[in-house]
Structure 1
């Protein structure tokens, strides 16, 4: 693991070590009998699913909530083939969509997930009811929908640490603040004070690649007689996958005699997880007098490496491309190494079918010490490897309980930090010529958030109604986004820059020292949340929240909700809310360069696209303005059925109008005048940019949909079977798009997610055996292939089947074998742009992924 660890990460490690020591010492002071006294009575049958999210009143069952809430138990999460928290949730939450992100810059490191058709940062993430900090990774390329999003990294949460997950599928910014436009996901950590679980897992794809090894463990310990210390750990390694075909240009080079071409020259598939370590600690202590102290901490680190686009040795801009002659023939870019241009190096060598066999190249360049072309270093071209080391740490501590006059309080402080340290290998800084390194650290970004919260609640008994619950609270937040420069060679302007060679590590130029720095802001918020029990069958809720940000001002949002038990088994519920998402400090200030395909002059080719702050003069020249909050108005209405035969059914309609959505602008071509202006500002690598982008409030959308969730238990075949259905229909329309959002981006926003998606699960237990089957359906989608104006109008709907078989050998040990996508289904072949463009065998945004079937075996030991 890398030597560098931030101060916060070190502090979290110390806290974890100290807490573990306290817990272990305290456990020796508690007898086995005392532990048994604290155990829950297991003879009372199944426990009703209770949620704390979505209400400030006492926790209530999901059926009694005025808005849709899903409760997913920890066992249900773990009984799946996926090993990533995002993939686990997609299976059980009807309106959550996520796809793989091969060759998509930082999106490969932190994949965006989309709830109810919204971007990944339109969903608020909580842990134990407390706001989770954002990732430092900004999704510069997010398949259209999540372009520019900066949400939390939920993949750092190990599944084995989870007691349950609560998913509020309704706008809740008036209750929880920014980001809760699509909903809220609350991860509740295990709080056992005894027992534990250890799991080992191995899996691989049917194709024979992507081998995955994972171990995980959870243990609960008593912390004195009145507390608990619960620890969870997970470690994983996984190999990359490849679902590629050879590109036409690479095949032509090989056919012409270039023996240095890899097959495939470019790999599409899952990245490699060199290592992935996650640790969570959850602590609680009864202080007496109906008060308790709590604390939870985490530390996680992973190294991920993925592929990049192939650099053709004949025409890669800034590396090999010497332009064309009067007859349109491709010329080779040749550099003069003498320092005074006395080498008289040729600038008119035609590359032909294979420049390596061109006598002029051999004699005048390869065997001439005064002249240089990158074909000497990479005769077959090169494909960079891009990745990063991500470190995540957090600390939350607080106390809650009852004050005088039955007022309840909760006071807490928190700090969280996420850091991404990028690297790129097998590439060059072309301007340095033969002296270039082939590995670079282009820089790092650090997101840090600090918060303090104080909340109070009280239930009032009233003569005219059944009662009222009153809640109010204050919050102070401070967040910063820090950019740290890369190593000097990753952005250095070398001696060949003036001869047309590109500047900076090719594919992901390093952040220059002149642009590094830290930007920050603070915010204060106050809210009031009330629920009125008008009668036993009728509930009304109202919330209002005021929030003020130091960088763009204040906003006030509200919400009304209601639930009516119209019959014994049926209830109506609904809500109307206004919401907002504040622009992140990273979106307002980040500078970045990404490599992407784009259509320029009618030709699809790789370009280097610079993302600049909206306040940058070049951004302003291209139409950028300072960012403002996104504003939403949402409506929901639903039906809840809890029938005597055991069927639980919810049907909920939602409608979200979102104005001034924040996204990155579609790539805007830089003119020579623009580049000159950038150079005049001191942006010395401006000549390497082909396009510019920036964050902008530039379009409005209307999203509507229906969620159906059903659960039913029955006895069959001598055992018990649980059936569950999660169904979603979603439709998004772009109502108003500005000049900076292309027509292709509009269609991606509207049609890149399946309009219909559902999963039907049957989980049967019989004695020591358990059998699970899950049928998943994904509707058809549209893809703008590689975000480059290459439409795939119809990617057909698909079914996948997941299977799992488990056996309990005794009370402690069980084995499970299973397959995700057991029938090895794959998307429709990408017959339009596969070999012609970048070698992608399948559409890269397919909701079922590109890898096919995955089998696995798990061993679980419980004590």
Structure 2
């Protein structure tokens, strides 16, 4: 845990220095743009964060970022999580080169919290969770189960609203760090077609994307807006040859690949996203709405290399009295009379061992996997993600000026895992090499009924009252894989592993469906107590069928000190309910143990007998208290900036515990109770209320525009400092894991963007900075104490070939900056050239061409 004093003072000075510099720039009236034009840029209207009339960003009592379509378009990233990281100061996401399900749905972090501490809305309605649980989430997001925002195409968006403040009392569970609301386009005419292609400077990772949006009228009183996107991307490799693989090659094993293991971005075989948004005015006081999506994405990435001499359960036959590595040999005879050798020393290259050649390779009664996989093997892991949703309802006004909104919200996310270039060792020579290990499905159904009314209480402005009811049912279903992925083959009794190696299939006896429901009641009020003082309050009660009820509240204020400057602040309590998946999922994954060897780690429900044997208990909700205090300024000359301090305390945080090895006493006790698979796993993990944290930070956002070089230039700054301290942790969380939670995200991150437009052309430059981090390499007790800070530069040039067509060329990380080399464990462990959780990624520079046709 951290013992040094908070760096708040230092970073407040830095933040204030930046804003002061911008203020000095802003007082140069000779270069300021027309004030009215600037006001239009700043006066962005947000729906999220208030249940009264929508407010501008400057008038909100809590920090909100509004990101428009143009801002999404003007960058090299193509997936939603990377786009948000560029534009939101406290939003972080890492590449996930080899990280099980995290490869399919990357966990993102807002304000230093886990990926499921941010509530996601679409058009103000709760977005369902992903079925993917990030079993290996880089410490901070281990075990998190958040929504998959990558299924939302940027071409479908009118704007994105990011509420950077606790909002569980307003919106319910998960909104500890904040809320992200994706607002869909509602145009009744026109549209856009966009294509994009690019590649990394290394010559790999070729990407192609095409997207389109069109709006049409729906009778004379409505709209129908449709969006589609299709994307593919090749994988990348940033690997070096592992020492063990190099030694095999040097000893004459020509079947070993170089590199034997691939570290890089996964291959996206196809990524299809469809969205529709419809609205219809029913009469002067009511309208109906409907929106929904379907998305499908197939991803395939690398996995760890299986050494043909010592992979446990495949080739590892133990050691002899001299400590020499022996080969695992199976007896294929029905009655076990093959007299197969168990003492073959693998040496430098077992393929050249004459005893192996005579007694195994040329003996039909005996078998070793070196016969069919002489160079070992490296599985390819991935799957297909399918996501769908449908929301429909009506809103308007009834008697006595009561506003209402009634809606039904249906959501479903499915992940169908796949693994190939691997084996079920227990099946011996009859093993297939491709498997379908199973599916997970998350389903949610929500009914919302909201009421609003402006109540005259004798002041200049009315009291805005809101109240409502929500019912939500959610389920998590596990579906068994194909039988070969979990089958106990004839060689299992001889020490060969069971199931598809690397990701064993979910067995038929472990499949099932669990569900729960909850109801919520809330009240919300806003009022101007004086002309300059806005006060808000919210209270929410929720009752869950599986663990009980909770009541949370929030108060906030905004006080206008003078015409251009206001103070704002908030205090809230929050919670995050344990998900159905966290309570019920079963998974076995391959990870590195502290001895540097691959192990099979089972993640089990906390109430499973094996988990309970080593401390597992029923989950309880996480609880939070947070407060924020900030300043917002909007000047007539075009300068707009906000600076906000936040402090978030979270107790009973839910996470997967560090792997626990079962003792022989544990195994004996479980076997005596009839728990047959007690000895199947090297380590066991489970979900637990594992630790408490305090997170504090500062966000600074600033915008300014001016005339320059005969055109218009807009400057934008997004700055964040975040510090997390683990206040208390269970005995099952390791010291390196604590350091990952505290220091794996950069303490300081910022970007400064300049976008210059002059007639038909424009030029954008963006400088990005990410501070240094700590990495526990491969989550296996291999500390890299300092992955150094980095600057990167993004460049983009656009030219309007015609009124309707713009051609853009650009480069993300244009100087091809790379993170510090992994000099400690690159060759020795797993062949990773760079620290895998580097905040700038491991792929280097990316160049692209984009064409945009509007009509």
Deviations 1:155-203 (A, max 9, x none): 0000100100000000000000000000000000000010000011110
Work out whether residues 528 and 544 of structure 1, in 8 Å CA contact, stay in contact via their aligned partners in 2: yes
Q: CA deviation at 1:310?
A: 0.3
Query: Residue 113 and residue 62 in structure 1: after superposition, are their counterparts in 2 closer, same or farther (change >3 A)?
Result: same
Matching of residues 267-306 of structure 1 within 5 Å: 267-306=262-301
Query: Residue 765 and residue 669 in structure 1: after superposition, are their counterparts in 2 closer, same or farther (change >3 A)?
Result: same
1:50 is aligned to 2:40: no
1:660 is aligned to 2:652: yes
Q: CA deviation at 1:799?
A: 0.4
Question: Which residue matches 2:455?
Answer: 460
Query: Residue 154 and residue 257 in structure 1: after superposition, are their counterparts in 2 closer, same or farther (change >3 A)?
Result: same
Matching of residues 191-590 of structure 1 within 5 Å: 191-464=186-459, 466-590=461-585
Query: Residue 837 and residue 43 in structure 1: after superposition, are their counterparts in 2 closer, same or farther (change >3 A)?
Result: closer
Question: Which residue matches 1:768?
Answer: 760
SS at match of 2:189: coil
Provide TM-score, normalisation by structure 1.
0.94
Q: CA deviation at 1:763?
A: 0.6
Q: CA deviation at 1:57?
A: 0.4
Matching of residues 437-836 of structure 1 within 5 Å: 437-464=432-459, 466-599=461-594, 603-677=595-669, 686-836=678-828
Structure 1: which 5+ residue stretches go unaligned? 1-41
Question: Which residue matches 2:106?
Answer: 111
Instruction: Tell me how far apart the structure 1 counterparts of residues 363 and 434 of structure 2 sit (CA, whole Å).
Output: 26
Instruction: Tell me how far apart the structure 1 counterparts of residues 528 and 324 of structure 2 sit (CA, whole Å).
Output: 79
Instruction: Tell me how far apart the structure 1 counterparts of residues 53 and 774 of structure 2 sit (CA, whole Å).
Output: 44
Q: CA deviation at 1:45?
A: 6.4
Matching of residues 159-178 of structure 1 within 5 Å: 159-178=154-173
Question: Which residue matches 1:153?
Answer: 148
Instruction: Tell me how far apart the structure 1 counterparts of residues 462 and 656 of structure 2 sit (CA, whole Å).
Output: 48
SS at match of 1:365: helix
Question: Which residue matches 2:12?
Answer: none
Deviations 1:87-120 (A, max 9, x none): 0000010000001001100000000000000000
Question: Which residue matches 2:129?
Answer: 134
Q: CA deviation at 1:209?
A: 0.2
Matching of residues 80-91 of structure 1 within 5 Å: 80-91=75-86
Work out whether residues 580 and 632 of structure 1, in 8 Å CA contact, stay in contact via their aligned partners in 2: yes
Deviations 1:480-507 (A, max 9, x none): 0000000001000000000000000000
Work out whether residues 43 and 58 of structure 2, in 8 Å CA contact, stay in contact via their aligned partners in 1: no
SS at match of 1:595: strand
Work out whether residues 504 and 685 of structure 1, in 8 Å CA contact, stay in contact via their aligned partners in 2: no
Work out whether residues 39 and 636 of structure 2, in 8 Å CA contact, stay in contact via their aligned partners in 1: no
Instruction: Tell me how far apart the structure 2 counterparts of residues 554 and 47 of structure 1 sit (CA, whole Å).
Output: 41
Instruction: Tell me how far apart the structure 1 counterparts of residues 598 and 783 of structure 2 sit (CA, whole Å).
Output: 17
Instruction: Tell me how far apart the structure 1 counterparts of residues 674 and 161 of structure 2 sit (CA, whole Å).
Output: 50
Q: CA deviation at 1:685?
A: 5.0
Work out whether residues 503 and 685 of structure 1, in 8 Å CA contact, stay in contact via their aligned partners in 2: no
SS at match of 1:243: coil
Q: CA deviation at 1:643?
A: 1.4
SS at match of 1:635: strand
Instruction: Spell out structure 1 runs of 4+ moving beyond 3 A.
Output: 42-47, 672-688
Work out whether residues 74 and 163 of structure 1, in 8 Å CA contact, stay in contact via their aligned partners in 2: yes
Instruction: Tell me how far apart the structure 2 counterparts of residues 653 and 45 of structure 1 sit (CA, whole Å).
Output: 27
Instruction: Tell me how far apart the structure 2 counterparts of residues 580 and 106 of structure 1 sit (CA, whole Å).
Output: 25
Instruction: Tell me how far apart the structure 1 counterparts of residues 239 and 674 of structure 2 sit (CA, whole Å).
Output: 41
Query: Residue 73 and residue 43 in structure 1: after superposition, are their counterparts in 2 closer, same or farther (change >3 A)?
Result: closer
Work out whether residues 615 and 625 of structure 1, in 8 Å CA contact, stay in contact via their aligned partners in 2: yes
Q: CA deviation at 1:536?
A: 1.7
Instruction: Tell me how far apart the structure 1 counterparts of residues 65 and 491 of structure 2 sit (CA, whole Å).
Output: 59
Query: Residue 325 and residue 556 in structure 1: after superposition, are their counterparts in 2 closer, same or farther (change >3 A)?
Result: same
Deviations 1:322-357 (A, max 9, x none): 000111100000000002110000000000000000
SS at match of 1:604: coil
Q: CA deviation at 1:675?
A: 3.9
Number of aligned pairs? 819
Work out whether residues 290 and 402 of structure 1, in 8 Å CA contact, stay in contact via their aligned partners in 2: yes
Q: CA deviation at 1:467?
A: 2.2
Deviations 1:135-172 (A, max 9, x none): 00000000000000000000000010010000000000
SS at match of 2:600: strand
